[in-house]
A and B are shown apart, each in its own frame.
Chain A
Amino acid sequence: MRLFPGSFTRRKQELDEELQAHLQMAAQDRQHLGESPEEARRATLREFGNVGLIKDVTRESWGWIHFERVFQDLKYALRQLVRSPGFAITVIATLALGLGATVAMFTVVDRVLLRPLPYEHPSQLVEIREAGKRGIVENGVPYLDLAQWRSQTHTLGETAFYISQRGKGHLSFLEGSAGAIQVGAPAISANLLPALGVSPVMGRGFAIDPTTGAAQSEDAHSILLSDPIWRGFFGADPAILGKTIQLSGNSWQVIGVMPRGFSFPETLAVPLVWTPVVLGDKDTRRIYNVSPTYSVIGRLKLDVRLADAQAELNVIQPQVARQYTDPYERDQVSSVHLQRYSDSLVDGSVKKSLFALFGASGVLWLIACVNVTGLLFARAAVRQREIAVRGALGASRLRILQQLLIEGLLLSATASILGFALAIVTLKLFEHTLTSQFHIATSMMPSLPVIAVLLALTLLSATLSSLWPALGSARASIEPALRQGGPQRGSGGVHYRIRALLVVAEVAMSLTLLVGCGLLLRTLYALHHVPLGFRTDHVLVANMTIPAYKFAGQDMTTTLYQPLLERVQHLPGVESAALMTEVPLGKTFQMIFSLRTEGNSTAEIRKRELRAQFRAVGPEMQQVFGFRMAYGRFFNQHDTPSSQPVAVVNRAFVRAYFGDDRDPREIFGESLFSFSKDKRALIVGVLDDARQVSIAEQAQPEIEVDIPQITPDAGFYKGAEGMAMDLAVRTGRSPSTIIPELRELMRRASPELVTANFTTMEQVVEDSYGSQQLAAHLLEIFGAAALLLCVSGIYGLLAYLVSQRTRELGLRIALGARRADIMSLILRQAAWMLLVGSSAGLGLAWLSSRLFQTFLYSVPVHDPWTMAAVTAILLVGGLSAASLPARRAANVDPMQALRAE
């Protein structure tokens, strides 16, 4: 169907001309028969009939008339809205608020939960982990275990494995002529790409060893590039295949380039290259901390359910577990845990909390729609006469309904444009929190599905808010509306009752949101008042990834760290500076310390189960963070490579090591591990517990060693010094002036360190509030908006009520009613709506606040104080909104009110 306005007007002209030609020919024929021109013209016209009607009917046969009418209605609606800008702006702003919030939240849901994985049939992919007495084993499984799954399963097709390097500390440096960039370089088994159903666009994948699935040894130094690396770093070099590249000091030969959009694992937010897993001697044994452990991903065969595969592997697993000779270790791997790969990417609690927030935004949208419905009812009452006139002039009910719906659609379409802008602004404001909370690599811009949802919501809001009032208007009988002179009273009562119910619904939904908001604010308050155990003000933090390959054969303590630290300390304005593998509450790198003990006594098992945060720190750390020692001493300048190696632990470590019943000081002199042969480390101090992992979590066991004492022959040298290091600087200077100077010092220490990320300790703390902070801020916005809408709904309704009843009120006053009686009459209406709404809202909140449980910290889900406070706020807000029209009612001048009729 053609829809060009140009051709439409032309066709209209042609039709005019065609009918005109008809008339002229008919008139001429009559003149030939002897009639006068005037007679002929009139007779022809009479015979011809109603020209305008014929045109209309003919145009209808073009099938365009509907568009014409819609266009007319649109023009009419636009005129109506321009004529009452206050109404239009209120409705548009209200809807925009609801739409904006929902679209912003849906964008997040879409990015985090619904993102399509760039693999073939991603729903068939499952992550397989071992589980046992201590829960799921997060570190992966040794090759021998997964080999047994591979050989015995009938439910899984290709089963592949990889070493995923989570976190920034495990990045590699891709070297080029213009410097090095940080890349993720996961090692993948050769059958991983076939398992994912993806193959390189250029070159080939790793050669598969058919029995193991790993790469064949001739591919041990081959590498695959991702599309962003090939384009961005190698300038889309068409002859890249076969070239040798340098990755963290090793040479690799490029054998393939992966398609655009492919990435694996999905959790890494840096450009990727892939190295092969080639099995070695260590893979033929199961030795803790020696044998490599792999993450395993399998593909369910066609029509196999997850539960079937789970059941099958749990039958196989006892045979695997039997291979572990140590009964303690055997107990850790007694079963298998299967999960869809897509589910493994998002934490269950994150998922739940996201849905809760999305639900909250949906409630806000609903409140907005209900509010607009109320406004449209009010407007319908005002427009009753206009609509009646249209009906009297011949507009059908359907046509009136269509016109009113189009008006609603126009309003909601305008609102959706505004709401879209609002959503983008909101996402920008929360970008940092969102990306750090949900590990989203891509930018937070609305995508195609989001826009589809926006369109759907726009239509839905229009229908939801305008259908009911429009139906009422179209159904209303014409005659009484035309007959009565004054404002309508006949259906006013019905309108009022409906609108009162709408307000009650609004109050109930607002209260639900406000309770959620209140609970989170209390949580946030509690979190802000958790004693951290260290100072966070004026501390700047740099996260560095260490190019250890540059320092092969050297002692990084003396060649890299000490000189860098000294230079930083001499920078003007620096009070103190310290190096440590990870600042407290940092989330970029972690090392876990565990003890190798044999035996199965309770004490031995407790020591075996001890998992402690392991940090290498400089002695200056105490000055930077200002924490307290509970017992003993911290590191000092007398601790050197040649002196007795020492370590400090925290109270939580002592508790985990000894149990609760011993004096922490007894740990002094215990020797838990050694730096190198014959150099056992002695514990010399116990730190007070601090929130070093997460603000909401109690202190976890921690053990710290002194950086100046670490030499390359220490067993943990590579982990402690060769992967990641944080530099913490206490300074009164503003970050923006000192960061460039610090970066320059780092560049001089080693050019690769330029890539360091800077942040402040306060930001690190903020980030560790994490989801609570985000949820609280979002709910503050949602709650405040809901409160505003709800209060304006009450105000609007009562103002309408007073204006409708002016005459009656005037009469009452004239008959002797006191002003106070009139005020209480109006306020009683408000109180009734508020009370019914609040009780319904409290019920809803009671049911729904459970959804927020994962966010809450030190606040009970059904906290009576929060509920009471929030209800009070709503009641006060509602009554003060009601007091304005109530006062107006009380001040009605009886003379004027009665004369107005």
Chain B
Amino acid sequence: MKTPAKYKNRIELVQGTLDMLVLQTLQWGPAHGYGIVQALRTHSGDILQVETGSLYPALHRLERQGWVTSEWKQTESKQRARFYRITAAGKKQLASDLSRWQQIVAAIGSVMQRKPEGGKA
């Protein structure tokens, strides 16, 4: 069983980054919903927790946008599951999401690292 402490360490995803993370995961190869959750958890060192309640609507939304496609396949353990695959349009979207993300990170970073000035009013 999970300890409550471990649970607390997980970070809720920043709004709007889920799509980017899902697309990034699919860059590594087609995956089903559970696989994506696992991959994100593993690659974030158990920090990023994706709620299934956000993941599936996101996947279906991405499919509607044409950024991913899906097909039913067998997993290695003979379980039938829906595998998602990133499309060319999805890759383009990922690139633009990534560059926007980097801009935001840089911008927030430059704000946060700025030394306080003088201090006199």
Contacts and interface: CB of A to CB of B under 8 A. Distances in A.
Interface of A: 14-15, 17-19, 21-22, 24-26, 28-29, 43, 48-50, 53-54, 57-58, 60-63
A21 B52 contact: no
Contacts of A43: 1
B60 A61 contact: yes
Given A25-B34, A43-B1, A18 B52 contact: no
Contact of B57 (A17, A29, A58): A58
Contacts of B60: 58, 61-62
B92 interface: no
A54 B56 contact: yes
A19 B56 contact: yes
Contacts of A58: 56-57, 60
B109 to A, nearest CB: 33
B56 A21 contact: no
Nearest to A19: B56
Pick the 3 closest A-B CB pairs, nearest first.
Answer: A61-B57, A21-B81, A25-B34
Contacts of B81: 18, 21-22, 25
A810 B33 CA distance: 69
Contacts of A17: 80, 82
B113 interface: no
A61 B58 CA distance: 8
B110 interface: no
Which interface class (under 10, 10 to 19, 20 to 34, 35 or more) fits B?
20 to 34
11 contacts: A19-B33, A19-B52, A21-B32, A22-B33, A22-B52, A22-B81, A25-B81, A50-B53, A53-B53, A57-B57, A58-B60
Contact of A54 (B1, B53, B80): B53
A26 B36 CA distance: 12
A640 B60 CA distance: 101
Given A49-B51, A54-B53, A21 B79 contact: yes
B45 to A, nearest CB: 18
Interface in B1-38: 1, 32-34, 38
B1 A18 contact: no
A18 B51 contact: no
B79 A25 contact: yes
Contact of A61 (B33, B64, B80, B82): B64
Contacts of B100: none
Contacts of B52: 19, 22, 48-49, 54
Contacts of B61: 61
B53 A62 contact: no
Contacts of B1: 43
Contacts of B58: 61
A296 to B, nearest CB: 64
Contacts of B79: 21, 24-25, 28
Given A21-B33, A54-B52, 17 more contacts: A18-B32, A19-B33, A19-B52, A21-B34, A21-B81, A22-B32, A22-B34, A22-B81, A26-B34, A29-B38, A49-B51, A49-B52, A57-B56, A58-B57, A58-B60, A61-B60, A62-B60
B77 A28 contact: yes
B75 interface: yes
Contacts of B34: 21-22, 25-26
A22 B34 CA distance: 5
A25 B61 CA distance: 23
Contacts of A57: 53, 56-57
A54 B53 CA distance: 5
A60 B57 contact: yes
Nearest to B51: A49
Contacts of B75: 25
A62 B33 contact: no
A61 B55 CA distance: 11
A524 to B, nearest CB: 66
A48 B53 CA distance: 8
B33 A18 contact: yes
B34 to A, nearest CB: 4
* Residue of B32, B38, B56, B77 ringed by the most chain A CB atoms within 10 A: B56
A14 B82 contact: yes
Nearest to B54: A57
Nearest to B1: A43
A790 B71 CA distance: 64
Nearest to A62: B60
Contacts of A53: 53
Contacts of A18: 32-33, 56, 81-82
Given A25-B34, A49-B51, A54-B53, A62 B64 contact: yes
A589 B33 CA distance: 86
Contacts of A63: 64
